[in-house]
Amino acid sequence: MQDEQLTDGATTARFPDFPADAEYGLLINGQSVPAMDGSTFACVDPFEDREWGVVASGSAADVDLAVSSARAAFERWRSVSPGNRARILLRWAALIEQHAEELARLQVHENGKTITEMQGASLGTAAAASFYASLAANMHGETFESPLPRHRAWTVREPIGVVGAITPWNNPLVLLSWKLFPALAAGNTIVIKPSEVTPLSTLRLAQLGLEAGLPDGVVNVVMGAGAAGKALAEHPDVDKLAFTGSTATGRAIALAGAARFAHVTLELGGKGPHIVFPDANLDRAVEGLVTGLTAGTGQACNAGSRVLVHADIHDEVIERVGRRLSELRVGDPLDPETEIGPLASRPQLAKVTSYFDISREEGHRLVTGGQRASGDAALERGLFVEPTLYAGVDNRSRLAQEEIFGPVGAAMSFTTDEEAVRLANDIPYGLTAGFWTKDVDRVHRLSGQLRAGTVWVNTWRVGGLQLPFGGMKASGVGREMGLNALDAYTETKSVWLGLDS
Ligand code: ADP
């Protein structure tokens, strides 16, 4: 594989800054080290379907070493004043901004998301570092008018200890930033197990942290597959687990944490209902639906993958969305003109195309797409599928109920608000939901009735660090971001002081 890469040169041509034969060690206690058993794995560029990089593949023994290193660093890091922790995070934010293009290109090379989206993601990661720095600088407990005579009472917030963060490939740095920076801001240390699809963007981010002045051992990165994640989740000396990924893996991690009463935050799957009422601004609604279906090539937990359209406007809206989907520019994610890139990995391609077969068997009406992209050698080589929409879908079908994680929509119609809410909530997930209407009563009623951690009205897929993000039901436990984000990375201690007089 390596020889083929070097001789035909395609990888080196697109990414001269990341030579295909470069070696990357685990980051443990500030050092780059090989895996103890010497194993390695390769990344796969999804546009070229081509392997690159020689990445150390950690096992349980490496995880154990990384956790020991984080434990050893904990007492020192927690005693750094919050203001000084904030200073390091701010220096880190500045370095991320300086390296934003490099981090964006690295993520495109790993997961095939468009350069435009990944440039935004790099800046979003820097913004998160600054945001959590400001929370660190403002960390505080509370004092109370004493409930008892001759006593004083107050609370303090203390870091939990060693955090184990297990992260996915679809937005590797942003989704990590919601764990890493609040954990560090609050005085915890961390071991990160990035997805095996996107290991190197996380490694680079951590290296920038060292440059910013992080003491050794505060941030450790163990690359590897699910077994390394499992070892981290089950490690007895990890006090808090923070995970974003599939619901099935989230359940395994929650069970591992429960065995020792570890703190757990989980951000899991979604199958967002995206509802359009006849009084909506249909031009904007159609664009919102297209974004909901295709942002990140549909590989997003906050995708609007169930499209619910009122019967009066159903045919028109479906026709317009189908047309827009078929017109999207599919291509090289490094090209700023590209609107939709490849899927991130070979397993993901196999999964998404399996739903084309399932949809044929279930008998849904194909509006557009429904196959791998073709007609161009580059598209046929890469891990591409056509943006796809099915209509007339039964909400109980697999197409409507299961998270596909690709640009594949399941559309259905409804006639009353009650029916729309019933269909929207009839799903195990509850991460995001949205609707388009100008009726202010409906805005209040439905935003209360929809069972989702985030509800978007007349917009889709917007977010900000000030607002909490997370799911109900099988979409997760706890919230990330928000002004109270450090609560998820601290213990509250109540202190009572008895006075002699
Ligand atoms: P996907 O199937 O989309 O990759 P996963 O939830 O399996 O989603 O992966 C998210 C993260 O969880 C990755 O870093 C992966 O390596 C890790 N992982 C996979 N299986 C396990 C497991 N059993 N325990 C802990 N982490 C795991």
- CATH, residue 348: 3.40.309.10
Quick one: pLDDT band at residue 13, thresholds 50, 70, 90? confident
Beta strands in 252-407 (DSSP E): 263-267, 273-276, 306-310, 365-368, 388-391
Dmax (CA) for the chain in angstroms is 87
Do 281 and 246 sit in the same domain of this protein? no
229 Ramachandran zone, left/alpha/beta (phi>0; psi -120 to 50): alpha
Which residue blocks in 41-114 are alpha helix, DSSP H? 60-79, 82-98, 100-111
Residue 375 has a pLDDT of 87
Question: What is the full DSSP assignment across 410-437?
Answer: EEEEESSHHHHHHHHHSSSEESEEEEE-
455 is a domain residue: yes
Task: State percent of the chain over pLDDT 70.
Answer: 98
Query: How far apart (Å, rounded) are the C-alpha atoms in residues 482 and 471?
Result: 14
Quick one: pLDDT band at residue 6, thresholds 50, 70, 90? very low
185 is a domain residue: yes
Do 173 and 73 sit in the same domain of this protein? yes
Query: Which pLDDT tens digit goes with each residue over 184-240?
Result: 999 999 999 999 999 999 999 999 999 999 999 999 999 999 999 999 999 999 999
CB burial readout 27-37, b (16+ within 10 A) else e: bbbbeeebbee
DSSP one-letter code for 22:
-
Query: Which pLDDT tens digit goes with each residue over 149-199?
Result: 999 999 999 999 999 999 999 999 999 999 999 999 999 999 999 999 999
Residue 5 confidence (pLDDT) above 60: no
Tell which atom from ligand 1 comes closest to the C-alpha of 196.
16
Q: What would the mean pLDDT of 387-394 be, rounded to a whole number?
A: 98
Do 96 and 142 sit in the same domain of this protein? yes
Do 390 and 368 sit in the same domain of this protein? yes
C-beta separation of 115 from 341 below 8 A: no
C-beta separation of 160 from 188 below 8 A: yes
Query: Which pLDDT tens digit goes with each residue over 291-343?
Result: 999 999 999 999 999 999 999 999 999 999 999 999 999 999 999 999 999 99
Do 410 and 358 sit in the same domain of this protein? yes
pTM > 0.75: yes or no? yes
Query: How far apart (Å, rounded) are the C-alpha atoms in residues 120 and 296?
Result: 12
Nearest CA to ligand 1 atom 23: 230
Ligand 1 pocket (Cβ < 6 Å) reads 166-168, 193, 195-196, 225-226, 229-230, 233, 245-246, 249, 252-253
Residue 11 confidence (pLDDT) above 60: no
**How far is the centre of ligand 1, averaged over its atoms, from the C-alpha of 193 (Å)?**
9
The mean of the pLDDT values for the chain is 96
Residue 268 confidence (pLDDT) above 50: yes
Do 229 and 301 sit in the same domain of this protein? no
User: Into how many domains does the chain fold?
Assistant: 2
Do 371 and 423 sit in the same domain of this protein? yes
Nearest CA to ligand 1 atom 20: 226
Quick one: pLDDT band at residue 12, thresholds 50, 70, 90? low
407 is a domain residue: yes
Expressed as residue numbers, the domain containing 387 is: 273-464
Do 389 and 415 sit in the same domain of this protein? yes
Enzyme catalytic residues = 267, 301
What are the C-alpha distances in Å from 486 to residues 50, 71, 330?
A: 40, 20, 40
Q: How do the residues of the chain divide into helix, strand and coil, expressed in percent and rounded to 5? A: 45, 20, 35
Residue 44 has a pLDDT of 97
Do 282 and 250 sit in the same domain of this protein? no
Do 206 and 278 sit in the same domain of this protein? no
Enclosing H/E stretch for 41: strand 40-45
**How far is the centre of ligand 1, averaged over its atoms, from the C-alpha of 244 (Å)?**
9
**How far is the centre of ligand 1, averaged over its atoms, from the C-alpha of 268 (Å)?**
11
Q: What would the mean pLDDT of 17-43 be, rounded to a whole number?
A: 97
418 is a domain residue: yes
Q: Give me the CATH number covering residue 124.
A: 3.40.605.10
Do 280 and 264 sit in the same domain of this protein? no
279 is a domain residue: yes
Query: How far apart (Å, rounded) are the C-alpha atoms in residues 66 and 216?
Result: 11
What are the C-alpha distances in Å from 51 to residues 44, 167, 429, 497?
A: 4, 21, 34, 62
Do 116 and 165 sit in the same domain of this protein? yes
Q: What would the mean pLDDT of 47-69 be, rounded to a whole number?
A: 98
500 is a domain residue: no
69 is a domain residue: yes
Beta strands in 106-230 (DSSP E): 143-144, 151-159, 162-166, 189-193, 219-221
Contacting residues for 320 by C-beta, under 8 A, at least 6 apart:
282, 286
497 is a domain residue: no
**How far is the centre of ligand 1, averaged over its atoms, from the C-alpha of 195 (Å)?**
7
